[in-house]
Chains A and B, each alone.
Chain A
Amino acid sequence: MDCYLDYNAEAPIKPAVCDAMRDAMAQVGNPSSVHGYGRQARRAVERAREQVAALTAAQPGDVIFTSSGTEANNLALKGTGRGRLLISAIEHDSVLGSATDASILPVDGDGLVNLAALEAALAEDQTPALVSLMLANNETGVIQPIAEAARIAHAHGALLHCDAVQAPGRLSIDRAQLGADLLSLSAHKMGGPQGIGALILGDGVEIEAQLAGGRQETGRRAGSENMSGIVGFGVAAELAEDDLADVARIASLRDRIEAEISALGGGLIGNRVPRLCNTACIAMPTMPSETQVMGFDLAGVAVSAGSACSSGKVGPSHVLKAMDIDRGLASRAVRISLGWRTSVGDVVRVIDVWTDLRSQGCGGSAGHEV
């Protein structure tokens, strides 16, 4: 069986999610219709809304379902009407792309955002601002000091948006405690289906819909509700809370990968600060990332060199660049990310393949080196 270690791109759908979706798909009914079938679909959507809200200790009425984490991020950044945007240099492409005029906050060598820079930027300009910071980075797993950033933002009258797509099941999330005025989630990163996400709003935060049309999602997102996707998301959100009990196991598996690989000369990135239990970012001596991931794939191991969205792109990731990681090291980094189905066998396998590739790289196949 193939060894899948790319959970930050995609977590396999959990069986209970699939079952719930299958039942939902067997039902007919548009949740906006007033007849019995419509009301039945509406109840399923509202139950899922409660489940997703509970994941972040939010109110169901504050959950806006979107088609993805990307759409949730776009809605957050474009919908608050804040004229000034501040984001970190390591945000996901969907935040970077939605905020092309934003001031970019630097991160340090460990990938942590510079809060002094945030404070200074907010102090020098009183324009009502929106600050957008991710809870955990998709490439390194590094966890940002969101609550502290929120306190700074709020002291200057700014709103804080938090892209929390990578966090469910790996960190417990309390929207209010984080101080996030807006928070993005994606179902398929937590064992739910692709094609569904959510933006969760804090008390009194208003958002202008980016899609014009019907009055779905209390006028904040038009389009017929993706009922079966929403149902699957709800179940996945509930199960993500159970995953928190699995964090110690996942962390020990990840730590084993890192310990054995670093003993063989692998360079660990982002491991000196608090980060997600499941993510390892490791540079191999001599072999470029692209060659490594191909080697892993041929050996039946799925890993990646950065985020899936940009996996067609060449060149080192913007995240590692922002961390000022040595260019050579960054160009040899591979992300290994674990999840609910990961076993000891997977761990042994990835270490073995890494070791093989490492010896190939040392075997003088200089032609591989770009």
Chain B
Amino acid sequence: MSLTVLRQASANIKLPIYLDYQATTPLDPRALEAMMPYLTEHFGNPHSSTHVFGSTSADAVERAREQVASLIGADPREIIFTSGATEANNLALKGVAAFEYEHHKGRRNRVITVVTEHKCVIETCKHLGRDGLEIVTLPVNDRGFVDLGELADVMNDETLLVSVMGVNNETGVIQPLAEIGALCREYGAHLHSDCAQAVGKIPLDVNAMNIDLMSISSHKVYGPKGVGALYMRRRPRVRLLPMTDGGGQERGMRSGTVPTPSCVGFGEACAIAEAEMESDNERLAALRDRLLEGITASVEGVSLNGDRTRRIPGNLNLSFTGVGGEQLVEALSDLAVSTGSACNSASVEPSYVLMAMGMGSERADASIRFGIGRFTTEAEIDYAIQTVAEQLSRLRGEK
């Protein structure tokens, strides 16, 4: 079927096709519906404890806290609402370091992280490095994994914190959190995991995995933007100093009015994810396989970036030989895809994540991230395959 025929056959396809689910997910209509009462009649400030408008909002926030906690096997009291995963990552890393310095004179001084972490973890670690902490950045192998042996080699009794993401935002590769958690316990180090891309995509249990701090983003799990959470273990208690001072909301860990409608939408999105993760994943894996098989069957010189199996089903990161990344994105204008993380998408540098996996800059540059999700249809996948096939042959023919 040619693209023109497909186009006619699928008049209901909205172009460009949204295939950037790792940058942000559409808000699930059910989450929006849950939010609406709190954007209209239930407008109270959740911290107004003196009247029913306030307590109605506070009850809704607490229900949302339970929904978020439940998805990761946590206690609701361990959930601190933040403005997003970036703030949660900052709070976790800077907060733990600040507490250690204030109360233990920085006896534990080492922070171990991984080269493929999200920009905000890397930048926060740099910040901690300037403050005098020793930052150890581990490499990854060609499939995107951190090596447990290498991690064990750099762990010691001075290790304060290990920060490893659950799922990489560019490749979808899943890190072995449970094994890393066990290792951290051995050394009494805290494990922080940026799970912005993992929550609602893979089963997570903070207790089984020995995760002490976890960053969560609402808008990557079909909830609204502008809200996220930090999970903070209570037993054994993880202590940190807050970054934002003020009214002392969120158990003193994060001042500022908690946004009720956003929390409600976030909570609902987590509840939906908990109920539907398995069926979503089955469907997404089938779509992902269809996309991969469709593209490899019709295009030469395609390689998959990141491990083939230990990745979330909603991500496909492919490199195309002989074409440039920017050129590719331009040619694939019918598809809303990206060449790296959204935060870096204005930059023209090849992805540091793919480079860290040992790829040359040419292959890293010629990579495309296809992010598929809950609202992606088979017709959209077929259209995407056709588009890639036609555009690649056009680009290569031009040479």
Q: A68-B257, A223-B86, A229-B262 are in contact. Are A33 and B50 (CB under 8 A)?
A: no
In the bound assembly, the distance between CA atoms of A308 and B49 in angstroms comes to 7
Number of A interface residues in the complex (CB < 8 A): 75
Q: Looking at chain B, what size class is its interface with the partner chain?
A: 35 or more
Asked if B262 and A34 sit within 8 Å, CB to CB, the answer is: no
Asked if B24 and A222 sit within 8 Å, CB to CB, the answer is: no
Asked if B40 and A13 sit within 8 Å, CB to CB, the answer is: yes
A354 interface hit (Cβ, 8 Å): no
A127 interface hit (Cβ, 8 Å): no
Residues of A within 8 A of B82 (CB): 67
Nearest-CB distance from A328 to chain B (Å)? 20
Q: Which of B3-11, B122-130, B275-283 binds A?
A: B122-130
A216 interface hit (Cβ, 8 Å): yes
A224 CB contact (under 8 Å) in B89, B90, B219: B219
Asked if B123 and A213 sit within 8 Å, CB to CB, the answer is: yes
Nearest-CB distance from B111 to chain A (Å)? 13
Nearest-CB distance from B142 to chain A (Å)? 26
In the complex, the number of residue pairs spanning A and B with C-beta atoms less than 8 Å apart equals 265
A32 CB contact (under 8 Å) in B84, B226, B260, B343: B343
A 289-307 to B, binary, CB cutoff 8 A, 1 in contact else 0: 0000110110011111101
Asked if B83 and A195 sit within 8 Å, CB to CB, the answer is: yes
Asked if A213 and B120 sit within 8 Å, CB to CB, the answer is: yes
Q: A94-B245, A229-B262, A311-B50 are in contact. Are A67 and B40 (CB under 8 A)?
A: no
B377 interface hit (Cβ, 8 Å): no
Q: Is the interface of A mostly helix, strand, loop or mixed?
A: loop
Instruction: Output the nearest chain A residue to B23 by Cβ-Cβ distance.
Output: A30
Nearest-CB distance from A65 to chain B (Å)? 9
A9 CB contact (under 8 Å) in B20, B48, B227, B245: B48
A348 interface hit (Cβ, 8 Å): no
Q: Which of B25-33, B233-241, B312-320 binds A?
A: B25-33
B298 interface hit (Cβ, 8 Å): no
Q: A28-B26, A223-B87 are in contact. Are A216 and B257 (CB under 8 A)?
A: no
B 50-91 to A, binary, CB cutoff 8 A, 1 in contact else 0: 111110000000000000000000000000001111110110
Q: A33-B345, A311-B50 are in contact. Are A223 and B124 (CB under 8 A)?
A: no
Asked if B53 and A6 sit within 8 Å, CB to CB, the answer is: yes
B43 CB contact (under 8 Å) in A12, A30, A226: A12
| Residue of A4, A30, A36 with highest tally of chain B CB at under 10 A | A30
Residues of B within 8 A of A25 (CB): 27, 32, 35, 224
Q: Please list 13 pairs of residues, one from A and one from B, whose beta carbons are closer than 8 Å in the complex, sorted by A's number.
A: A6-B50, A6-B54, A38-B342, A68-B83, A68-B256, A70-B244, A100-B245, A213-B124, A214-B342, A223-B120, A224-B217, A302-B51, A302-B54
